[in-house]
Structure 1
């Protein structure tokens, strides 16, 4: 096996197959083995695939893996991936990766690996754990894609950005970006540092007020600035402008602006440009221009012949004076050798020696030679020769100034002939001759100075012309080259400037790829006088096409007529190639980033909700907005209706189109394609071969269609479709990939929504059942508590009743005997009184005994003792009666009772706890109230006991106020007269510390108490609330606030309904 195999084992089916749910969904209706083979072949052809066991030992790699890493399969099997570890990633990176995949999670990231030859490559890596049926990891499958070129492009892009930043920081000017809005507004999104130095204006000031820079332009230069900007915006050609800027200080600078425009999708235009100070350059150019003009005038007007020779002793320049002296026009002389032009045969040897001396810089600067003219005459010439030396010290030519001295030579010969004749008159004419000689010498000195200045200027110009790395040219208005330097010939692929000039006699037709480009070039020069960075495509001599950038101007005659065009040419082919490659790379990266950003945004929008309608609505709207199409909709396939059909449930459409929501009959081709989970892509509906599908789509107004099906976990089939109705619209691959990815995400979201809905329903049912069980438990607990309390009260009542009964018997006995004892005592007292009356002097022993027992006090105090015993027995009888009334063992049913009696009985039982507490009773005139008296007494007991507990911990004088009244059902007013109403109100109020709002809210909750542990169960008020509200259908309220005491209000019906 060379490539990644098809594994149909259970581990693979539950692992790799499940990892890619979309694969499983799309292949549900096809042969599994065939589909897996297709996928495996595609995977092996494009991806680097490896398989390891659960310990990370490599068990299989495909051919793509061997191809990219350079190893043999035997080098890798049985090893770990450390074999290709580049050392770029730290150990912690791999530890975290292993921790993640060992949990069963899929890991995705970027790895830098090392090939066998030591070179490295980048890979986009996905590692998928494969689980067996028990959920245990049995192996890992890694899938990688080589992204080395993209990484290198990213590195190159970062380097380019760094170079740009460095360039912006070091250029002698500023780099800027200017935006011209569709509404005519101007802004500066980017300005490099140095604007204040250049223009006297800070970057912040210009950004805040973009019009300030234009406002500082000299008013004479402002029209050219506006026109050049408008022309660049209209033609999207390079914007070039040069003019004066008035500084805020009053000074003035010359600035030069060069910027390249780019049209934006929204209609805005952005110029990326460069602004520099050319003041010094302008001053130098003006001086140089003046110097050149003077030199040109001198060259044209000097009476001396000015001739330039190349190294081959051929004429390179020939002025009008040379034409006059030698009879040859400039065109006739250019390029001709001196020997065949003006040097006679007998003088050639001498002239050659002079030439060699000049080139070797060893003499030959001045000589007098006979020369030929065009018409065959011999003229005597004085030659002032200067070798032209470049910056390296090498001779590049010779410049000569020539004076025709034929007449002087002939005069000298004549003088020699007539010397003897003149000797007589020599003395007479000596003074005149000396004067003529002096004038001649002055003229010679002047000419020599002129020749030297001309030579230096010409040398400088020629050196620049010949050695420039940029092409330099002069052309006629009709499109012929007048002059060209070697650099221009090299750029165009010619052997020499002469070869170039001789080969191109129609520049517009022969040189430029676009036939009208030369005309546009000339039109731009005529319009703006000067053109900078005029980019064009041209043919080289060998037929190759290159990119050039031209800078040129027109040279005018005094009358304004164009004499010729001159300028420079730069080969920008490599720059254009780099720009094109970078632009394409940026477009691909931008498109990929945009697609991923849109998909991520769409995924985020989809997954922000688990509501199916919201998910579908968000998806179709987002996709329509992104692709700018007429319709995007989602439909479900309904195969179980009386006729199979499609139901469009959500759509996003152009506002002018009618709604497509509804049910549509199925179209066989479309349905069959969707049931196979295959995409339907139609760029032009009119070209569809299937008649039924074409007619259906045209009937609903579709011109283009892109349909991608999906299948939910529940087996439902849906379609996400994009349609265009205003015309045919081809679907790009990036759009198809985006919609496919969106469909996958939508399928996941729909499954999640359905799962959430099911989970939600189950949770609601479980919650409802839990609430019912909780309520039942609470009621059971309350009932149990009530039964316990009832049983306790019953036991207490039985105890109290028993105690009362046991006490009542002796008390009755004592009370009854006290009455008899009082009678007997009164009889005895009467008897003793009679004894004292009739026997005033008793026996001394009796008298002593009477004194010992204090007989007088005993006679006075014993009645009081008997009376107090009578009162005590009565008090005991009252207590026993209260206990019996409170227990009410025989009162389990409702019966009319006196509420006041129940309150008094309760107070009697609590009398020992009242202590210093002041008790105030404001009893109204209540009738008998039908109630459960025992349970109602329990309520009074709980409330009064809590009030006493609260006052015990309070430092102020305690006070409890009990008020009863009748509440009229219609007015709610308290009535003190006999009622015709049905509600009895009992208020028990204390002046204790009060309670907070939080305590009041929980006051009647079971087991809630504010008392210390062991002093309260938290059930008293809860049971009281149940007794009043549930047993008596009344109300129990607590009104309290911290520091203001507490008031409990009890309201129960006087005669409750059945």
Structure 2
């Protein structure tokens, strides 16, 4: 465009083309100008395009009238560079380029970029032909980009991890180095391959991780170890695709993390070992087992070659009572004078120290006998703690490293010290147990004597029980005989009186009234019934309930029983609704015994309620049994009464007929249980009670 402006202002250029310049400039962003600079240094705008209005908010005529207006627009901080750049261009006649800020009349701050060709004319003046454009947006974008770049650089600088750009072939292209965790310089890495820097196996794994990252487009992690001037270090590399054929590797030193995790795991294992040892001591009295399991687990935990426990003996010496040892190294369970001397010296050392830590047996001053012991047992490092109970040295718990010297960690020392305390408890527990065993032996002898005496007493009690049963049976039998005799007399007297009255004979003189005789008769009948119940219950307890089972259709059996009980219902004005269906199967039962059960259940409700009671009889099959239910609408029972109704216990003597009914209920349970069923009673929320009992089906009885 500058060249176009130059052509338009040449003297031989067609005049009609010059008139096109404003039209062309109006469609171009920026301010075009043509400037003449005279010999005296004065400057005049020959031409200024209309773009100056948008750029500078000034009309072209103003610029043409006063060149200095451009100096007033330029920000003072940038004016010096403007003047200097124009002076250099005039002196060298090289193209002029400048960037700076202007402030428009409305107060807008803008960045502008100026460029111009500088050429001498034929009359000796200098012609400037150029363009000023608004680059504010560009500058703002550059500023933001620079700020963002600065933030990124600060962020990268704050990240302690190493960063590498690595090609698909494993070549290092670029790196961000942190001298604190990278032992190599840029020159030692850039341009090299993974196989040049890392161990062969590590480099092979890394090459595969790079391939997976580029093929999958997802993060890949890769952990490895490497020997550095700081020792063996653990690293984790995280790879992410950084283009088609390269990855960005972020490498972090995780040595401390791995160490902390390992320490945490060891701490958990130590706590588990202590907990299990304590539980073992509490649950076992076998000292040998406790000691052996302890040395085995401690050796496994510490990963040492030998762990053993030495205890003092009764003769003032010591002996190894438990040991776990790597088969590659000698065992010290076999005693010799040498080991006795070793323990003697260990005792003297523990007199002043609660722990003995030896990391290298070759670098400590020891007695010849202790040195000989180390050589014989191939011990290169040792850790020993005393087993002390109430300030008395009982022995020692000792760990030996035979394969190499060893730095014993504080956690390992603490473990042995805590275990030695638990072992002291176990030893004390064993001593107490030995004393108790002695006492127990004497006690067993005394118990044997007492047992003989108790057996004699039990034989005497059994004899008394036998006598009691005989007496109960005899008394009941005799009482029954007596009562039956009374009943016969009473019945004869009543019959004689009725007979004479019928034959108009002289009445028999009876010293008591007829009603009294009836009450006496009823009372004796109740007594006879109770005696029969007592005898039957006694027989069932001694010999069980004898049943005469036979197969019967269940609904037929129930119908026969209800027919037999009809007089009882009529006498008490009771009604019964029989809801038992005809499709129930055959059962194997003692029909007479079952009728007695149902009679007792109906009779209980009738005797404890006024006349007019309503019964409902139901039955259903469930779980291999038939469940029968007798529901009435009478008086409800309490929960305690329901729970105890079928038990044999002493009842309230003031309850009329309560003992007799209690015996009947107890006998009902004996009969149902003899059939293989169950019986019970439930209380209703509104009124009445519900008796129930079960009978097994024939298939269940087979």
Larger relative contact order (C-alpha < 8 A, sep ≥ 6)? 2
TM over 0.5: no
Please give the TM-score of this superposition, normalised by the length of structure 1: 0.28
Please give the TM-score of this superposition, normalised by the length of structure 2: 0.40
